[in-house]
Structure 1
Amino acid sequence: MAFTLHPRLEADTTWLGDLPLCRVLLSKEDIGPWLILVPKIEGITEIHHLSDDDQVRFIKESSSLATVLEQKSHPDKINIGALGNMVSQLHIHHIARFQDDVAWPGPIWGNTKGIIREDAQQDDTASQWKAHLSSIDGFVEA
């Protein structure tokens, strides 16, 4: 079965590229940066549903993404979470948080203004993150 991205993730993000296991997405919400990893395996809803090898790869890809996010954004904190209450397809959020962001110190969910970047700004932000992510072994730009 071919991998398909959940329609909500498709609508709310820009595809940056792929790592060996995961698709890398950039949220369109104007906060963060907010990056999302989605394993390219159909029907997976939980991390423990991945094979042992894929669990290890998932954590390594998440750690590599978080490292680049930290190096390029210099956040006060990185929030990493896999909630899946609205989108059951397994995905993990990586959000750079700053003490002056709209939701600090609370969680992002339900605490932002929901402002979406203009298309040109999203394209520029996506281009910047594609360049940043090129330092991760195995990243292939979309």
Structure 2
Amino acid sequence: MFTPSQADVRRFFCGAYAKGRQGLPMEPLELLAWQWIERHPEYHAELADLDAALASMHVVHEARDNPFLHLSMHLSISEQCSIDQPPGIRQAVELLAARRGSLHAAHHEVMACLGRMLWESQTHGRPPDGATYLAEVQRRATADGA
């Protein structure tokens, strides 16, 4: 399994941003990243400056999202849906997207569930609970008034 470092992640997204802006050929994962990057213009300035992105790796900005974490979560959810892992996630995200009228909005709701699952896993020192994660996404996708 490939486990990229924080610097690797920042290089990847900054590189995908640069290639996308220049219209250069991209690998499939870079293309997927570029599609999410385009939906987040608020991150473009940070993605445009790799040196600054690497220099600020250990700086915590309490008032805003980490663009690299946010985009990584978009990629994770996209990958989960593409392979339907955990089983049922694709259908739940598709239903949530239909109810919200936007895949992007659905992803942002799923991020809350994914973040909670990862936090619980790290806090309690146990493996991520995919069943609880899926149940939370399904609940959001099927809740009355959603």
Q: Structure 1 length as normaliser, TM-score?
A: 0.29
More helix by share: 2
Tell me: higher relative CO, structure 1 or 2? Use CA pairs within 8 A at least 6 residues apart. 1
